[in-house]
Homo-oligomer: A and B are copies of this chain.
Amino acid sequence: MVESRYYGQYGGSYLPEILVSTFDQLVTAFKEAKNDPAFWEEYEQIMSSYSCRPTPLTFAGNLTEYFGGARIYIKREDLNHTGAHKANNVMGQGLLVKRMGKKRVIAETGAGQHGVATATMAAKFGFKCTIYMGEVDIARQRPNVFWMERLGAEVVPVTDGTRILKDAINEAFRDWVTNMDDTHYVLGTACGPHPYPEMVSYFQSIIGREAKKQIIKSEGKLPERIYACVGGGSNALGIFSSFLDDSVELVGVEAGGDGLNTGRHAARLASKDGTVGIAQGFKTYFLQNSDGQMQETHSVAAGLDYVGVSPILSLLKEEGRVRFESATDREVLDALSLTLKKEGLVPALESAHAFAQAFKEVPNLSRDDIILINQSGRGDKDIFTIADAFKDPDWQKFIQQKAEEYRA
C-alpha cells in the first residue's frame, strides 16, 4: 500500500510502481524510529558530538541598534558541521539508513550544501555515495563539488532540463529506481513523496526546539516574528515547527531573483506565478505553465532556485499561518554585506534572504519586540558568487594568476 500523507490538499505520494515497496520500507522504518525514544536520543547525541548542537542563538546588538526597531536574534545553523542546517536532516537519515541496513546513499544538491552534508554523513557512516548536481549549480558552487569529491563521493553533473536542483532530483530518482535494494535516497528538503516532507521536517525540528528554549531563556518571552528563507522549506519548517501554536508571526522568504514582475525568480508562494501541480512525486505549488510544464526559475542562491516547495508550507500559506515574502538578488547582497560588517556573521546567500526581509520590516517594530532570523548556513561556499556580485578586482586578478599557473 502506498501510504500517502496529505497536508490539506498538498503532499501525497505520486510514485512509479517500481518504488512502491521501497517507500513502504522507508515509511515503516521512519515510523518505528519515530516511536522509539532511543532513536531521537541517539540523534541528539550524534548531533551534539559530531556537529555542534545546540547551535547558539546570537543577539545581534549592532544590527538592532542600526535599525532602531525590534531586538534581533540569529539562530546559528551556520555553525553546524559542514556549515548549514542540512547536517540535521542528513545525519537523521543516516541513522535510518543504518537501521534499514542499506550500504549506499544518493542525493541531489543545489547549493552543494546538502551534497557536502550527505557526502560527509556517508564518510562517517561508511556508505558509498553518489551526488547529483545540475551543471549550472556545479559552475556556481564549485568549492562544494571539490569537497564532495575529496570526501569520497561521486558527483554526477546533470545536463538535462534546466540543469539545476529539480533536474538533479529527477536524476536521483532515476538512480534510485535502478538501485533501491541497497540504496537510500537522502532527499535534502521537506519536499518529495511522503514520508520525506514529514521526515525532513522532523529532523529539522531540532532547530525550533532549541531556539524556543533559548529565546525564553534569554528574553523570558517569545519573539514577535521569525524569518527563514524558503528553498524546499526544510530550514523554515525546522524553526517554525515549534512555534506553530504560539502567537508568533512566521515569515517565509523566497527568492525574488530579478524581481517578482520580471518572471526571473523562484517565488512559488509569495508571487502570483505559482499554481498547484504534481511533480517529483508530490502535490504542491509549482512555477509551471498552463500545460503543467515546469518553468525555469532564477535566484542568486542555488539552494533557493527550486520550482516547487514543501507541501506543508503550501498548507500553512493557505491557512494564513505563515506569511510569504520575497527578497531580490540585490536586496540579498546588500543584507549580506551589512551583516558581515555589523556583526561579523557570514550568512549563506540562501540565508541572507531571511535577513533581507527582516531588515525591511524591523525598523517598523517596537524596541520591545523581538525577532528571530534563522541563519541556515554560512557563506564560505558562496565566495565565487559574492566576489562576482561585488566585482572584486583583486579576486579576479588572483583567479587569473591561478589560471596562468595552471596553463603552465
Binds B, one of A14-22, A142-150, A243-251, A355-363: A142-150
Q: Shortest CB–CB separation between residue A378 and chain B, in angstroms?
A: 9
Among B121, B123, B142, point to the contact of A342 (Cβ < 8 A): B123
Q: Shortest CB–CB separation between residue A5 and chain B, in angstroms?
A: 32
Binds B, one of A286-294, A319-327, A400-408: A400-408
Known: A340-B123, A380-B143. A51 touches B56 (CB 8 A): yes
Among B58, B83, B150, point to the contact of A340 (Cβ < 8 A): B150
Among B49, B58, B343, point to the contact of A56 (Cβ < 8 A): B49
Known: A399-B406, A407-B400. A343 touches B392 (CB 8 A): no
Q: Shortest CB–CB separation between residue A402 and chain B, in angstroms?
A: 5
Q: Shortest CB–CB separation between residue A277 and chain B, in angstroms?
A: 35
Q: Shortest CB–CB separation between residue A334 and chain B, in angstroms?
A: 13
Interface residues of A in 305-343 (CB under 8 A from B): 337, 340-343
A219 at the interface (CB under 8 A from B): no
A86, B58: Cα distance in complex, Å: 19
Q: Shortest CB–CB separation between residue A48 and chain B, in angstroms?
A: 6
Q: Shortest CB–CB separation between residue A3 and chain B, in angstroms?
A: 32
Q: Shortest CB–CB separation between residue A104 and chain B, in angstroms?
A: 15
A79, B52: Cα distance in complex, Å: 7
Contact between B406 and A124 (Cβ–Cβ < 8 Å)?
A: no
Q: Which residues of B contact A120 (CB under 8 A)?
A: 344
Q: Which residues of B contact A386 (CB under 8 A)?
A: 150
Among B49, B76, B121, B152, point to the contact of A341 (Cβ < 8 A): B152
Interface residues of A in 350-370 (CB under 8 A from B): none
Contact between A341 and B392 (Cβ–Cβ < 8 Å)?
A: no
Contact between B399 and A123 (Cβ–Cβ < 8 Å)?
A: no
Q: Shortest CB–CB separation between residue A124 and chain B, in angstroms?
A: 4
A78, B83: Cα distance in complex, Å: 11
Contact between A152 and B340 (Cβ–Cβ < 8 Å)?
A: yes
Contact between A346 and B147 (Cβ–Cβ < 8 Å)?
A: yes
A179 at the interface (CB under 8 A from B): no
A57 at the interface (CB under 8 A from B): yes
Q: Which residues of B contact A51 (CB under 8 A)?
A: 56, 79
Known: A123-B341, A146-B383. A406 touches B400 (CB 8 A): yes
CB-defined interface of A387-401 with B at 8 Å, one 1/0 digit per residue? 100101011101111
A119 at the interface (CB under 8 A from B): yes
Q: Shortest CB–CB separation between residue A91 and chain B, in angstroms?
A: 10
A142, B399: Cα distance in complex, Å: 9
Please list the residues of chain A having a beta carbon within 8 angstroms of any beta carbon in chain B: 48-52, 55-59, 62, 76, 79, 81-83, 119-124, 126, 139, 142-143, 145-147, 149-152, 337, 340-346, 380, 383-384, 386-387, 390, 392, 394-396, 398-404, 406-407
8 nearest A-B residue pairs (beta carbon) = A403-B403, A120-B344, A123-B344, A396-B406, A52-B79, A52-B52, A124-B344, A152-B341
Q: Can you offer 15 A-B residue contacts whose CB atoms are under 8 A?
A: A51-B56, A52-B52, A52-B76, A119-B344, A123-B342, A123-B343, A142-B395, A142-B398, A145-B394, A146-B392, A151-B341, A396-B406, A399-B403, A400-B407, A403-B403
